[in-house]
Amino acid sequence: MDSTNSFPKVLSKIDVKVKRMSDQIAEAKWFYDAGNMNEAYERALKLEETSEKTVLLTRALPVYTGNPSAMQEVERTIALNIPVDIGFTVENWFSIRFPLLLPKKPAGSADYIRSILYPAMQCFFQHKEPVRYDDCVLIFRHVYDRNRPEREKRDHDNIEVNMVSDIVALYTMPDDNPQVCSHFYCSASGMQERTEVYVVPKNDFPTWLVMERIMPDEGVKLYEKHL
């Protein structure tokens, strides 16, 4: 079937979602103005979920025009608006930094994470020698905005974390099974919320634990090449 036939269908779905978002914005504002923060919070969560689904649809929409450059242009836009820092620390630990917290939700699709991280990893490793950590710890460090102490700490068992693990393992490990890779999760406070991921050889893990306590607010310096 011609992909252009799907364009109006996807556009219609987006229109429905946008109208729903408008209703949810009004609901959240009404409960906030009424002083009911619990209900305002619930409406805000629903709004966030709808907006995530809307973003996925809008990312797909240009492709349905049939333009052969659509996907590349969408990926370029994602990279400009959601930058992902990728590189190696001075200790030769691989690391990535997202300007958002993971996990965001306990269920549903993690396609938006794939659409952010996978192209970024492809671009980073395009002209580099493969890197393989055979016996390592995959670390997730969740950095919370210190100016928002009310922010609830999030669970670690989540499809988004699994998605990140799979993509990181694809480029840095022979496999992500327990014989090759252990997982470690921790939280910290900083000037801006983000998620940091590290791939650290197991022998270096005690050193990472010590250094984690003194990591700079903006994150450790990352280098393009494995030193």
The arithmetic mean of pLDDT across residues 69-87, rounded, is 80
Residue 82 in contact with residue 116, Cβ under 8 Å? yes
What DSSP string describes 136-166? EEEEEEEEEETT-TTPPPPPS--HHHHHHHH
Burial per residue of 55-68, b for 16 or more beta-carbon CB atoms within 10 angstroms, e otherwise: bbbbbbbbbbeeee
Q: How far apart are the first and last CA of the chain?
A: 49
**CATH number for the segment(s) 82-227:** 3.30.1330
Structure token digits, residue 223: 């280098």
Helix (H, G, I), strand (E, B) or coil at 186: strand
* Residue pLDDT, tens place only, 24-47: 999 999 999 999 999 998 999 899
- Given a cut of 90, whether residue 184 has pLDDT beyond it is yes
The arithmetic mean of pLDDT across residues 201-214, rounded, is 94
Q: Name the DSSP letter for residue 38.
A: H
CB atoms within 10 A of CB 35: 8
Each domain of the chain, given as residue ranges in start order, spans: 1-76, 82-227
* Residue pLDDT, tens place only, 191-207: 888 899 999 999 999 99
Q: Is residue 1 very low, low, confident or very high in pLDDT (cuts 50, 70, 90)?
A: very low
